[in-house]
Each structure stands twice: as C-alpha cells, then as structure tokens.
Amino acid sequence: MILGVDYYPEHWEEERWPVDAKLMAEAGITVVRLAEFAWSRLEPRDGEFQFAWLDRALEVVSAHGIRAVLGTPTAAPPAWLVEKHPDIVPVDAWRRPLGFGARLHRCLANPTFREHSRAVTTAMARHYAQHNAVLGWQTDNELTGNRCYCEVCAGRFRGWLQHKYGALDVLNRTWGTAFWSQEYSAWPQVPLPWQTACGPMAHNPSLMLDYYRFASDITVEFQREQVRILRKHCPEHFVTHNFMGLHDAINYYDLAEDLDFVSWDNYPESSAALPHDVMRGIQGRSFWVMEEKCGHAGWNTMGPIPRPGQVRAWAWQAVGHGAEAIVFFRWRSCRSGTEQFWQGILNHDAVPGRRYREVAQVGREFRQVGPELDGTAPRNDVAILYSYDQIWALQIQPQVPGFSFALWLQRYHEGLHRLGLGADVVSPATDLSPYKLVVCPPLYLLSDELAARLDRYVSNGGHLVVSARTGVKNENNYARSETLPGPLARTLGIAVEDYDAIGDRSNAIGLHDGARFKVGLWCDILRLEGAEAAARYLHDFYAGSPAITVSRHGEGRAWYIGTVPEERFFRHFLGGIAGELRLRRVADLPKGVEVACREDEEHRVLVLTNLTGQRQTVRLHDPCEDILAKAIVGDNIVLDPFGVRLLRTTS
Ligand code: GLA
Ligand code: ZN
C-alpha cells in the first residue's frame, strides 16, 4: 500500500521544501505528485524549458525517501501561449470563445495546442527519463470529452463521420435525416450541435450521440499522443491519468486503454463505494486514488470539515474496493489562487494538526497490514453493466424528467451494497460468464449483438435483471421497430403493450410475498408471454397488470423491472434473488456501514468501514480475526463513529 500527497513546490518558498518533505516522511508518505499545472514554470517562454527548480524539488523529497509521479502540465496552458495563439481556446455552443484565466482553456483538437503539448511532454520525458526519483506519469489532469464547438472541431467531426459512415447517404439513412429536411448533400453541411432556433437539445439524437462519441475520441487521441511520447522516452515509468469517478462526458474505457492503470480523484460527499467500483471496473483491476479528500472542499466558499476518523475511513474504504495507493489532495492549503480555501493536510499556517495525525495513522496502518493485502483484489459474483453510450443517449432524451442511467445504477448498487454484496461494475463488452447475477440499468440502446450475448448468458444458466426502457433504440440512437423490449422479448417472455410516463405522480406495486412499494417516473404496461408476474400495479387503469416479471429461459432466469420502484425495494428484491442463488454475503449491515472484500487464493480480508458519525453494530456471518488489533472477534462487532476494522476470515 502506498501513501502519497499532491504537492505544489512552485507555490512555496524553497526554504520550506525540506521542512515539508521531512513532515511528509514522518507521516509515512512515500509518493508525491508534482507539476501537473506548472507549465509556466517549466516553459516560461516558447521553447525555453527550465527544469532546475523541479530537479531541486525532486532532490529534496528523494532525500526523504519520497518518489514522484509527474504530471504533464497541459491542463493549464500559460498566458504566452494563449497570447500567441488565441485560437487554441475552446468555443461554446453559441460559438463564443472561452478565455484565459482559470484552467482548461484549450481545445484538444487544435493542432497548435497539440504541437505545444507534444513539445512540453517531450522535453519533460527526455529530462526525467533516467531520474531515479520518478516513478511514473500522470497525463494532463481530469480529462473530459472535448465538447468544443470551434471550426477545427467542426472539420474533425465531419472527418470522423466520413470515416465511420463512408458515404453521406449512409449517414443520412443511419440518422434518419429526412426528418425536418436535414438531408445532407455535402460533408461541410453537417453541423456540430451548435445552438439552434429551437434550443440546445433539438438536434437529431443520432447526431448528438455521435458528437458525444467524437468529443470523447478527440480526448483519447490527445492523451494517446502524450502516452506515446512518455513510453518512447521513459519505458521504465508507468503512465496513468486521474479520472473522475462517475464523471460521464468521456468514455473512460477508451481513455484507459493506453494506460498502465486507472487513478481517480475521490472527493466523497456520501459514500464513494459506487465510484470506486466504477473505477475498478474500467480495466477490471486495482487502481490508485490520485487525489483523496483530506479536508473541507472549497474554492470561494467552504464546506464542513471531515469529522475525526472520517479521512481514515475514506482511505480504507478505497483500499477495500481495490485501491493500491492513496494520494491525498493536497499537502497544504494554498495561499493564492482560486483554490485558496480548499483545505490541505496542513492549513495555511502549516502547523501539523488533527488531519496530519490522521494521515500519519493511515501511514502506520498501511505499513502494518500492507503485506497482508498485497496480491489481493475484490472478487464478486454480481456484475452491473455500465456503458457511456447508454448514459449519453438517456441524457440526450431522458424519457421523463428524473429518469437516468445514473438513477438505476445507484439504486441497484446501493441495494446490493446494503446487503453486503459486492459488485463489479463492468462494460457490456466484458465476458459475463463468471458472474452468477448480471444487473442491467436500462439498455436503452440495444444492438442485436448485445441482445444475443445476454440471451446466451441466460440460456447457459446466468441470471439477468433488466430495467424499463430497454431495447428502445439501436446503437445509432434510431428507434427500433419491434414491440419492446425488442430483441430481448423472448429472453424475458414479455411484451410491453404500452407505457405511461407518470413523472412525479406515483403508483404502487404489490409483490407475491405481500410486500408493497411505491413506484414513480415510469410504468410499463406488460403482457406475459411465457414469464410470470413477480409484482403487479395497485392503482390506475392498469392496476392488476404485471409491473415486474421473471422468466425461465434455458438454464437461467431473467427478471424485468418495468417501473422505477422506491429505493428500499431494491434491497428487498435483490435480497430475494441473492437468497435463491445462495450468493455469498459476509455481513448484515446497518445503513452507512460498508464491507468490501479483497482476496487471493489463500485468504480473504474484509474491510469494514463505518461512514456514519454514530456507533454501529454489525453482524458477521463468520467469525473473523481483526488484523489491525490482532484479536479474534465474535459475530457482533461494534464500530466507533467512522471506525474501521480489517478482518481476516478464519474459514
Ligand atoms: C480536482 C483537480 C485538482 C483540484 C481539486 C480541488 O480534483 O484535479 O487540481 O482542483 O479538484 O478543486
Ligand atoms: Zn474545438
């Protein structure tokens, strides 16, 4: 386990550096991330590189046994670059250029910006290739889809479409441009989704989806250029990037393809369990937290400070979900700039206090139990399908206000988590055969190929949960013509006869076991064609008709949830399935307490975190040994507020 901190030596007097490094080392910090916004210091004038200051900073930290991850500084283009090439800035949908002043003032498709990005990356890579204090690299910072509306992007979009569709008549057919006279007879006629006379979201939904995909591809291409340079000059170093958890304006599966591992920036508000699982699922392997919250968040205003123990609980929660390194953001609150009030481990006064001691405690614990965790990773019986195409298509047309991919994802994940059931959040392209249960938030875009794979998964004995608004469109965001749920109708044994977008009116459902739940937003009116009803509506003209169904198909079973039930339904419903499938559950958990498991061939470590400010009692299903306290614990464990237990199952 690695403990690190994000450090900005360029913000502080050099005389302070050795004091900082010594304090870091005393807290058990062995890694710093440096330089990801330091472009104006690294290249103060066009083509004039200055590494001496960063060399000295590296010397200071490495004298204390600390090594570095270097960021390419391209998220903050310097003033001279924007002055010289004002056209590198991004443009909004109203075609207004966005100016210098904060960060991110660059269009990633702009060739001049690209040239400068390559130049600074190459200079850094060459200079630090042999430096033994450097462990690896972070590309740029928190990349997102390049949703820019400049002329360069317009040209690149047309080229991207030409490559995808070949001929314009294929594009016209695929998008259905006969609607509102949008047929294109020459490539330059194809617009970006600029503002229209009918508002921002009035563009053809197929064009919109392709634009989101294109904007994501541009960012991936931009990063790839940097990665190639880094790999060429620094073959010994790792290359990663700091992702943003549930951020969804870029296809993270694509962005991760060029990287050794995923890192992410964790600023938890409630639980970070879901984003941790999403981040692990991007490559299906362990990850780093490159920025971990250690104080209150705030740019111009501030929020509540983490309670005693909370920072430690967040760190251990991350480890439970597969983190190999926790890098706290940031070392010390900055005295200047937009983030003056974003709290570091140290306040402006640099006096080590409660948060410093808590970080140091994490450092001691990492040293104590690190070897126990080496080689272990989360392994789960349940998968949740996660896809950026689905997210985007439902953002473009949410069906009913409040309905989103994220809503379903959260409810399923939370339902499983409350049951003490870990889940892998995976791409639909993943091999699903190892999973006993696969849960699908709406597969609103459903290709024949994905439907066939899911059908095979069930036929071969898998268990599948499918949500309302599945099978509505094909992969081009063009409505399918079959009765819903389209190509999954046979697998699910149902037909959606009609649907009612009830919005904030509510209905209710009754299950066979007598349980009743409120439902909202959406009601599919279903006809059984081989399936059985698992729940029926209680109100309105479709009272008595099925709302949830289950069908046997081949060796497996498939459920369909045709409405949006309230949160507590998910624990009840998934708990029933988990019981029938005898899924391995390790504990009964009160709200706000979480368990995550890491295991290898020989043993299993449970990380139990109390994310609440109250004492909590947890009932374990097996007796365990507490490896921090080195004691055997019984079935009932009492956790202090924000308490953490690391347990080894003795079975
Ligand atoms: C992000 C960025 C950091 C910093 C923090 C806090 O995660 O990557 O540079 O801006 O937010 O605002
Ligand atoms: Zn652009």
Mutate to test the pocket of ligand 1, among 246, 265, 331 (most ligand atoms within 8 A of CB): 265
Position 623 scores a pLDDT of 85
d(CA 314, CA 362): 10
Q: Which atom of ligand 1 is nearest to the CA of 36?
A: 9
Q: Among the residues of 249-404, which ranges form H helices?
A: 252-256, 273-283, 310-320, 354-373, 388-396
pLDDT at 649: 83
What's the residue count for the chain? 651
Task: Name the residue at shortest CA distance from atom 9 of ligand 1.
Answer: 141
241: which residues sit within 8 A by CB, 6+ positions away? 138, 139, 140, 143, 223, 255, 256, 259, 262, 263
Distance CA 338, CA 105 (A): 15
Q: Is the pLDDT of residue 651 over 80?
A: no
- Residue with CA at minimum distance from ligand 1 atom 6: 342
Condensed to tens digits (0 to 9), the pLDDT of residues 217-252 reads 999 999 999 999 999 999 999 999 999 999 999 999
Ligand nearest the Cα of residue 337 is 1
Given a contact cutoff of 8 angstroms between Cβ atoms, the answer to whether 43 and 53 are in contact is no
Which of 291, 293, 334 to probe ligand 1 with, by most ligand atoms within 8 A of CB? 291
> What rounded mean pLDDT belongs to the chain?
97
Q: What is the DSSP letter of 45?
A: B
What is the edge-to-edge ordering of all strands in the sheet holding 463-467?
423-426, 382-385, 437-440, 463-467, 556-561, 546-553, 532-537, 494-511, 516-528, 563-565
* Angle of CA points 607, 612, 618, to nearest 5°: 50
Residue ID of nearest Cα to ligand 1 atom 10: 339
Ligand 1 nearest atom to the CA of residue 141, by list position = 8
For residues 270-288, average pLDDT: 96
Closest ligand 1 atom, CA of 265?
7
**For the CA of 267, the nearest atom of ligand 1:** 7
Active site residues: 142, 291
- Cα of 118 vs centre of ligand 2, distance in Å, is 18
441: left (phi over 0), alpha (psi -120 to 50) or beta: beta
> In this predicted model, what pLDDT tens digit does every residue of 607-616 receive, in sequence order?
999 999 999 9
Contact in structure between 152 and 110 (CB atoms under 8 Å): yes
What is the band of 586 on the pLDDT scale with cuts at 50, 70, 90?
confident
CB atoms within 10 A of CB 467: 26
CA 330 – ligand 1 centroid, Å:
9
**Which amino acids bring their CB within 6 angstroms of ligand 1?**
141-142, 265, 291, 329, 339, 342
The ligand that comes nearest to the alpha carbon of residue 264 is 1
Rg (CA), the chain: 26
Instruction: Determine the distance separating the centroid of ligand 2 and the alpha carbon of 645, expressed in angstroms.
Output: 49
- The protein residue whose alpha carbon is closest to atom 11 in ligand 1 is 265
Q: Tell me how far the alpha carbon of residue 287 lies from the centroid of ligand 1, in angstroms.
A: 18
Q: How far is the CA of 342 from the centre of ligand 1 (A)?
A: 9
User: Whole-prediction pTM value?
Assistant: 0.98
Nearest residue by C-alpha to atom 7 in ligand 1: 265
Does residue 6 contact residue 327 with C-beta atoms inside 8 Å?
yes
380 confidence band (pLDDT: 50, 70, 90): very high
User: What pLDDT sits at residue 616?
Assistant: 97
